[in-house]
Structure 1
Amino acid sequence: MKAFAGMAILLATTVTHAATPHLSEGVLVDDHGMTLYAFIGNGPPDQKSCEGDCARNFPPALAEQADRPSGDLTLMAMANGTSQWAYKGKPLYRGLIDKKPGDRHGDGLNQAWHTVQP
């Protein structure tokens, strides 16, 4: 039981202190090293630009409550009360097409999704 309680505390600490998006190999990545994308299409992402369910295929890069903006990385309030990371005002998304850190399979997808290269 003590091991379970210790693990719960460790997980809670990890979740509340997620890392700010940072550079890796010239592109912005999340706290797990996964590539972040910006949508450059007209209007919000739609089924055509996402090849299906946008919310599932390109979920928002959510910020934790303790996260704070830094330079060009800002936080955007979402309708559900959470915050999404943004770079120079463009919301950031994770691409579920990527399976491991360093993957960039969403870059250029439908001429609407691009890696963020500060």
Structure 2
Amino acid sequence: MRTLVGVITLIAAASACATPPHVSDGRLVDEDGMTLYSFSGKGAPDAESCEGDCVRNFPPALASPGDMASDKLGTVDTASGDRQWTYRGKPLYRGLMDKKPGDRAGDGLNTVWHAVPVR
């Protein structure tokens, strides 16, 4: 019985970890196939560049505790103590305006938000 509980615990822990960003259709996407974005403005994203509340409209793409950086993917610690994915050193964000995998509604928004092409 103790072994069964240990196996169930390991399975639950593994499924709780998100997979690292990956490439789909030449762009970086999250574990659900949703487009990831980078911010090219000066300084940190602000209410004007985000069309309002940045944390709500462009939440950071967070890494799970067991996720490891590789090649051009890395992580950076956020002010709240979480780990945010980066690509080539630029923090990655999700776009809440996207409704399904493949959507890129935030691409080009205010000329500072961009879907992340993989080269």
Q: Name the structure 2 match of 1:106.
A: 106
What is the alpha-carbon distance in structure 2 between the residues aligned to residue 84 and residue 77 of structure 1? 6
RMSD: 1.5
**Post-superposition shift, 1:34?**
0.4
Larger radius of gyration: 2
Count the aligned residue pairs.
111
What is the alpha-carbon distance in structure 2 between the residues aligned to residue 19 and residue 47 of structure 1? 29
Q: How does 1:64-83 map to 2 (within 5 A)?
A: 64-83=64-83
Q: How does 1:23-62 map to 2 (within 5 A)?
A: 23-62=23-62
Q: Name the structure 2 match of 1:84.
A: 84
Q: Name the structure 1 match of 2:14.
A: 13
3-state SS in 1 of match to 2:49: helix
Q: Name the structure 2 match of 1:94.
A: 94
**Post-superposition shift, 1:82?**
1.1
What is the alpha-carbon distance in structure 2 between the residues aligned to residue 76 and residue 53 of structure 1? 21
What is the alpha-carbon distance in structure 2 between the residues aligned to residue 93 and residue 104 of structure 1? 12
TM-score after normalising by structure 2 = 0.88
Q: Percent identity?
A: 58
What is the alpha-carbon distance in structure 1 between the residues aligned to residue 81 and residue 48 of structure 2? 27
TM-score after normalising by structure 1 = 0.88
What is the alpha-carbon distance in structure 2 between the residues aligned to residue 13 and residue 71 of structure 1? 22
Q: Which runs of 5+ in 1 are unaligned?
A: none
Q: Which runs of 5+ in 2 are unaligned?
A: none
What is the alpha-carbon distance in structure 2 between the residues aligned to residue 86 and residue 67 of structure 1? 12
